[in-house]
Amino acid sequence: MSGNFAPGDTVQVISTHPPGHRRTPYYIRGKTGEIERVCGDFANPEELAYGFDGLPKKTLYRVRFKQTHVWSDYAGPESDTVDVDIYEHWLLPA
């Protein structure tokens, strides 16, 4: 399994807004979280959507974010989280 990140690593989601079929939701772009697990390598759905082969495969992670970090007015306790599936090319070390 490839992938540059390991569970526990802190990562930042790239804040960019390219056109096309993207799998990283807007609300999480630019946010900082922690790798919860490495999920494996998958053909890139952002390429598959346009009839390309999606290769080379991209490593997929589950990244855990604190809700109070994602939403400035989050109403719940500090411990609440949102776990988001994010491909490696959307992540930077932080």
Partner 1 sequence: MAEERGTHDHDHDHDHDHDLTFQPNIEDTEAGRYELMTYAIRELLMEKGHLTPDELRAAQEKVESLQHSDGAKVIAKAWTDVDFKNRLLDDGNAALAEVGVDAGAAKMTVVENTEDVQNVVVCTLCSCYPRAVLGMPPDWYRSKSYRSRVVIEPRQVLSEFGTNVPDDMTVRVHDSLADLRYLVIPRRPEGTDGWSEDQLAAIVTRDTMVGVANPIAS
* Contacting positions for partner 1 (CB under 8 A): 23-25, 27-28, 39-40, 42, 45, 60, 62, 67, 71, 74-77, 79-87
The minimum distance between CB 53 and partner 1, in angstroms, equals: 15
Residue given tokens 């994010």 in the structure block: 86
Q: Residue length, the chain?
A: 94
Label residue 79 exposed, middle or buried (CB < 10 Å: 0-12, 13-18, 19+): exposed
Token digits for 75? 């109403």
Looking at the Cβ atoms of 9 and 22, the one nearer to partner 1 is 22
The minimum distance between CB 16 and partner 1, in angstroms, equals: 17
